[in-house]
Amino acid sequence: MRHIDLASFGGHITGTGSRSRNGSQYRVDPIGARQQMILDPHVHLRDWSQAHKETIYHAFWLADRLGIRGLIEMPNTGPPLTSRMAVEQRLELAAKAADRLQSEGGQPPHYAMHIGLARNPEQIREAVRLQRAFFPRTAGLKMYAGHSTGEMGIVEGSAQHQVYATIAEEGYRGPLIVHCEAEELIDNGKFDATRPQSHSEARPAEAEIRSIEQQLALASAVGFDGHLHIAHISTPEGVALVQAAKDRNRRVSCGVTPHHCLLSLNSQSNLERKQQGRGNLLKVNPPLRDEERRSRLWQLLCQGRIDWIESDHAPHAPDEKTGKQKAVASGIPGLSGMNLLYARLKAAGTSTEQLKALRWSNALRIYRLPWPEADFATEPPAVDISTLSEPDGSPLYGGVDPYPQSEFV
């Protein structure tokens, strides 16, 4: 496990247990009752060539502590989840991680994955066949309509049209999850690591808004009869586009992350003022937005205009986030943020039925997963995330997880 001096970040984390990534034993010490009632449909569990960032086993272990009962993984792994071989090997790895955690007294979450789409029409057809063959362990398909971590972007309009046309021809009616950022409006040259907020200038809100417009138009043009889901929506304008499509009886939904609801460019600026480079810990794709947009997004979530909450859990090693390497990676650990966002929603007076929809029932319905509703029906435990740590007592994810540190939120 990577180590970083949390005192330099102004936080305080304590914990018990013992574990390492090299195969030594975990001791599972859950915080609160062992009740697992959140479904997180958007996680990056790394492993394989990215095991220094995260492993499936470690994510399962943390999910057990946080009350997260289901995880659906994104395909931008190394290698990516775009072939039968990769899918089969990933499912085997997940099964071994679940068996290990269970043998140590833990309760592993339900697990499924998305299959990634590439430019090759035959690969797209094969992805549809694989999704059907391995369902429910393969929950849906994923397209990156803008380049992000993993270089899986399908960014030209003609290539995106081919994706929709091909899956429509194959009669695919399941979920298609799309990362929406229009590449023509992205200028990564504008990002300056010494000014972390510049990431929002390099990947502006308009890039997301235009991409959502494009995806809705492409899906309609080819008669795509599946379910289009806009991942990690970060703009109220994007939510309005999704709502307008719903009003036209389109099969479309959107999810929002804790960081886009709870953090803004102000959070990033405050971090950077305290210590140069710290603002890069909050570098994510799509970027954090200004406080006005964040506030409006929060209001739309409370009003029921957003279908579910999703963490976009995407850990990186500390030196990949703090600028010690040439590039600053985009992504943050997000699992603990799900509990925090749920607590904020509950405190805001969100109805029991809406909380149920946001934390599991909408996703379970749209993905058509046969996971037992009883596994999610109880309220999640009240977890004091400020007490979270790795079982050896070191800071969670080497200190780059923003949520256990109260100054971040």
Residues 72-102 as b/e (b if ≥16 CB within 10 A, e otherwise) read bbbbbbeebbbbeebbeebbebbeebbebbe
CATH architecture of 37-408: Alpha-Beta Barrel (3.20)
- pLDDT of residue 36 exceeding 60: no
Q: What is the mean pLDDT of the chain?
A: 89
Instruction: Judge residue 107's burial from the number of C-beta atoms within 10 Å of its C-beta, 0-12 exposed, 13-18 middle, 19 or more buried.
Output: middle
Q: What is the DSSP letter of 282?
A: G
95-106 mean pLDDT: 97
199-226 mean pLDDT: 98
114 by DSSP, 3-state: which?
strand
Structure confidence at residue 10 (pLDDT): 25
For residue range 167-183, list pLDDT tens digits in order. 999 999 999 999 999 99
Q: Which residues pair with 195 in a beta bridge?
A: 192
Structure confidence at residue 326 (pLDDT): 59
* Phi-psi map region of 258: left, alpha, beta (phi>0 left; psi -120 to 50 alpha): alpha
Instruction: Judge residue 46's burial from the number of C-beta atoms within 10 Å of its C-beta, 0-12 exposed, 13-18 middle, 19 or more buried.
Output: buried
* Phi-psi map region of 105: left, alpha, beta (phi>0 left; psi -120 to 50 alpha): left
Q: Which residues pair with 254 in a beta bridge?
A: 230
pTM of the complete model = 0.91
Least confident residue range of 4-18, 23-37, 74-88: 4-18
Q: Where are the domains of the chain?
A: 37-408
For residue range 153-164, list pLDDT tens digits in order. 999 999 999 999
For residue 296, CA distances in Å to 246, 262, 302, 347 come to: 19, 11, 10, 18
